[in-house]
Amino acid sequence: MPDNWSYVFAAYGVAAVVLLAYWRRLAARAKNLAARTARRSA
Protein backbone atom coordinates (compact mmCIF):
# COMPACT_ATOMS: atom_id res chain seq x y z
CA MET A 1 0.00 0.00 0.00
CA PRO A 2 1.34 3.47 -0.80
CA ASP A 3 2.46 5.56 2.09
CA ASN A 4 -0.18 8.27 2.12
CA TRP A 5 2.05 10.77 3.90
CA SER A 6 -0.46 13.51 3.12
CA TYR A 7 -2.95 11.80 5.41
CA VAL A 8 -0.40 11.47 8.17
CA PHE A 9 0.46 15.16 7.98
CA ALA A 10 -3.23 16.05 7.79
CA ALA A 11 -3.97 14.16 10.99
CA TYR A 12 -1.01 15.55 12.91
CA GLY A 13 -1.64 18.96 11.41
CA VAL A 14 -5.25 19.09 12.59
CA ALA A 15 -4.17 18.06 16.08
CA ALA A 16 -1.39 20.64 16.18
CA VAL A 17 -3.60 23.46 14.93
CA VAL A 18 -6.40 22.76 17.40
CA LEU A 19 -4.11 22.35 20.40
CA LEU A 20 -2.09 25.42 19.48
CA ALA A 21 -5.23 27.51 19.04
CA TYR A 22 -6.57 26.41 22.42
CA TRP A 23 -3.25 27.10 24.12
CA ARG A 24 -3.03 30.54 22.55
CA ARG A 25 -6.54 31.36 23.80
CA LEU A 26 -5.55 30.27 27.28
CA ALA A 27 -2.32 32.24 27.18
CA ALA A 28 -4.12 35.39 26.05
CA ARG A 29 -6.71 35.09 28.82
CA ALA A 30 -3.99 34.44 31.37
CA LYS A 31 -2.02 37.50 30.30
CA ASN A 32 -5.17 39.60 30.42
CA LEU A 33 -5.98 38.42 33.93
CA ALA A 34 -2.42 38.89 35.14
CA ALA A 35 -2.56 42.51 33.99
CA ARG A 36 -5.89 43.03 35.74
CA THR A 37 -4.57 41.47 38.93
CA ALA A 38 -1.49 43.66 38.82
CA ARG A 39 -3.59 46.80 38.32
CA ARG A 40 -5.83 45.79 41.17
CA SER A 41 -3.05 45.34 43.66
CA ALA A 42 -1.17 48.43 42.45
Partner 1 sequence: MGVRALGWLAVLALIAGLGTAFGYAPREAVQGNVQRIMYLHVPAVLTAYLAFGFVFLGSVGYLLTRRPGWDRLAMAAAEPGVIFTGITIASGSIWGKPTWGTWWTWDARLTSTAVLFLVYVGYLLLRGMIDEPDRRARAAAVVGILGAANIPIVHFSVKWWRALHQPATLLGPEPSPIAAPIFLTLLVNWIAFTLLLLYLLAKRTEIARLEDMHAG
User: Interaction with partner 1 in 1-40: which residues (CB under 8 A)?
Assistant: 1-5, 7-8, 10-12, 14-15, 18-19, 22-23, 26-27, 29-30, 33-34, 36-37, 40
CB of 22 to partner 1, least distance (A): 6
- 20 vs 3, 12, 23, 26, CA distance in Å? 27, 12, 5, 10
SS3 3: coil
Please list the alpha-helical segments (H only) found in the chain.
5-41
Site residues, partner 1 (CB under 8 A): 1-5, 7-8, 10-12, 14-15, 18-19, 22-23, 26-27, 29-30, 33-34, 36-37, 40
